[in-house]
């Protein structure tokens, strides 16, 4: 089974910072990787699918890239509402999550 490993698991950042989260697959996967944002006590929300396509309504400061075994989610300028946990997903596998907290 494919495993997805996110790094870092936790990051502390300030409003306005550029943030990058990496998702590495245990073996080469298709480009159909998705990213989700989850806030406390809320359901996950789809941000990006097919590695780099922004879901409708998601701010353009979010972007995704990558192929093969390494994918990245970038937030170009962190906003207060972006403090949350982020997950990558491919088929039935999720990464372990990256919690973004306020520095």
Partner 1 sequence: EVQLVESGGGLVQPGGSLRLSCAASGFNVSSNYMSWVRQAPGKGLEWVSVIYSGGRTSYADSVKGRFTISRHTSKNTLYLQMNSLRAEDTAMYYCASYYYDSPEGGWFDPWGQGTLVTVSS
- Select from 103, 77, 95, 101 the least CA-distant residue to 36: 95
Decide: helix, strand or coil at residue 102.
strand
10 binds partner 1 (CB under 8 A): no
Out of 19, 21, 25, 36, point to the residue binding partner 1 (CB under 8 A).
36
Using the Cα atoms of residue 60, residue 5, residue 88 and residue 52 in order, give the sign of their dihedral.
positive
Tokens 């406390």 sit on residue: 40
55 binds partner 1 (CB under 8 A): yes
Residue 72-101 contact track with partner 1, rule CB under 8 A, x = bound: ---------------x-xxxxxxxxx----
Give the other-Cβ count within 10 Å of 51's Cβ. Answer: 22
Minimum gap (Å) between residue 96 Cβ and partner 1: 5
29 or 75, CB closer to partner 1? 29
Binding site for partner 1 (CB under 8 A): 29-34, 36, 38, 42-46, 49-50, 55, 87, 89-97
């Amino acid at each position: 089974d494919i495993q997805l490993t996110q790094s870092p698991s936790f990051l502390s950042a300030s409003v306005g910072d550029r943030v990058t989260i990496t998702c590495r697959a245990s073996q080469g996967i298709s480009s159909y990787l998705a990213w989700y944002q989850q806030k406390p006590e809320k359901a996950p929300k789809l941000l990006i699918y097919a590695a780099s396509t922004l879901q409708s309504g998601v701010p353009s400061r979010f972007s995704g890239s990558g192929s093969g075994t390494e994918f990245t989610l970038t937030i170009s300028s962190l906003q207060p509402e972006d403090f949350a946990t982020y997950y990558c997903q491919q088929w039935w596998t999720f990464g372990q999550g990256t919690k973004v907290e306020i520095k």
